[in-house]
Amino acid sequence: MREQGKLFVISGPSGAGKSTVVFKAMEGREDLCFSTSATTRKPRPGEQDGREYFFVDRERFVEMIAGDELLEHAVYVNNYYGTPRKYVEEQLAQGVNVLLDIEVQGARQVAEKCPDATKIFVIPPSLRELERRLVNRGTDTAEAIAARLERARQEYQEADFYDYIIVNDSLEQAAAELSAIILAQHCRAADRADYLRAL
């Protein structure tokens, strides 16, 4: 029986390691895909248009909102970010699980529209480690890092909105936890009801 893909919303402070954990968990798997967001943020060194993000200007972003092209969108540290709807819908219809790496306001919008989405919060082992990772990543100015740390403190207040928390200390363990959560969601009784009816 072909199952519909499931939607996984992954949030957590910038620098917690969300994209690293997501890409680690996706290695060698074809049943998982990552939704590339659109953003008005400028690309960091090494980032490529269409890979990390679709980098667009404000005008185009506003056009996407007006054209209902986005599943959700939010402003994060002075820039727009949003999830293109079409790709997500196509992948889910093909039975592929879709991972969204989005912040809390966007996660709340997705939860409204897709109540079955699984909400996962990724955190670093400590805020000190978060700062260390942001500094080591070397992609943000000291000012941007300070803004992201402040935002992280606010985001922690909303952690109870999520279904699962992954503490990204060891990358292998964190990726294994993400895979386990995805597997568990596919074993939910409500999703297996067809097998019972088939008896």
Query: Which residues contact ligand 5GP (rule: CB under 6 A)?
Result: 11, 14, 37, 41, 72, 74, 76, 81-83, 101-103, 105-106
Supply the DSSP string of the chain, one letter for each residue.
-PPPP-EEEEE--TTS-HHHHHHHHHTT-SSEEEPPEEESSPPPTT--BTTTEEE--HHHHHHHHHTT-EEEEEEETTEEEEEEHHHHHHHHHTT-EEEEE--HHHHHHHHHH-TT-EEEEEE-S-HHHHHHHHHHHT-S-HHHHHHHHHHHHHHHTTGGGSSEEEE-SSHHHHHHHHHHHHHHHHT-HHHHHHHHHT-
Stretch that binds ligand ADP, among 33-41, 109-117, 130-138, 179-187 (CB under 6 A): 130-138
Q: How is residue 195 written in tokens? A: 């097998």
Residue number, nearest CB to ligand ADP? 17
Q: What are phi and psi of 121, to 5 degrees?
A: -110, 125
- Given the complex with ligand ADP, which of 5 and 17 has the nearer CB atom? 17
- Given the complex with ligand 5GP, which of 147 and 191 has the nearer CB atom? 147
* Of the candidates 117, 90, 112, 169, the residue with the CA atom closest to the CA atom of residue 7: 117
Residue 80 binding target from ligand 5GP, ligand ADP, none, CB below 5 to 8 Å by type: none
The sheet with strand 53-55 has its strands ordered as: 53-55, 37-39, 79-84, 70-76
Residue 136 binding target from ligand ADP, ligand 5GP, none, CB below 5 to 8 Å by type: ligand ADP
Stretch that binds ligand ADP, among 39-47, 59-67, 74-82, 129-137 (CB under 6 A): 129-137
Stretch that binds ligand ADP, among 10-18, 33-41, 80-88, 109-117 (CB under 6 A): 10-18
**Least distance (Å) from ligand 5GP to the CB of residue 46?**
12
- Given the complex with ligand 5GP, which of 14 and 91 has the nearer CB atom? 14
Residue 41 binding target from ligand ADP, ligand 5GP, none, CB below 5 to 8 Å by type: ligand 5GP
Residue 137 binding target from ligand ADP, ligand 5GP, none, CB below 5 to 8 Å by type: ligand ADP
By the criterion CB under 6 A, which residues form the site for ligand ADP?
12, 14-20, 133, 136-137, 168, 171, 174
